[in-house]
């Protein structure tokens, strides 16, 4: 069930609805807010629209990097499981 939340991001208040719990909503908002404030700190004379676009690009980059890392890790686990299962199969055949 959707719940209404009120948050401040880059000194602007937003009201929106989400099915997520308050902890998750706050975590996401804090992440976005941090990204936006980091951009403003590095680029003092920048429009809010440009801050939002750069933050979106940074967040998308974080997400793509996370996906790549996860796929890489899953591949390593899959290979390790294959090695272990083959080892177990060889041990079983030797008995």
Question: What confidence tens digit (pLDDT) does each residue in 22-45 have?
Answer: 999 999 999 999 999 999 999 888
Domain boundaries, the chain: 3-94
Structure tokens at 93: 């055949």
Give the gyration radius of the chain's Cα atoms.
22
Report CA torsion sign: 42, 46, 50, 51. Answer: positive
Do residues 8 and 15 touch, judged by C-beta distance below 8 A? no
Q: What is the pLDDT of residues 49-67, one digit of tens each?
A: 999 999 999 999 999 999 9
- pTM for this model (two decimals): 0.74
- Distance between terminal CA atoms of the chain? 57
């Amino acid at each position: 069930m959707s719940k209404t939340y009120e948050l401040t991001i880059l000194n602007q208040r937003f009201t929106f609805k989400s099915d997520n719990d308050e902890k998750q909503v706050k975590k996401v908002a804090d992440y976005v807010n941090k990204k936006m404030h980091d951009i403003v700190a590095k680029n003092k004379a920048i429009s809010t629209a440009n801050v939002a676009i750069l933050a979106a690009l940074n967040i998308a980059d974080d997400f793509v990097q996370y996906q790549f890392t996860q796929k890489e890790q899953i591949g390593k686990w899959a290979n390790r499981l294959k090695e272990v299962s083959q080892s177990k199969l060889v041990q079983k055949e030797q008995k």
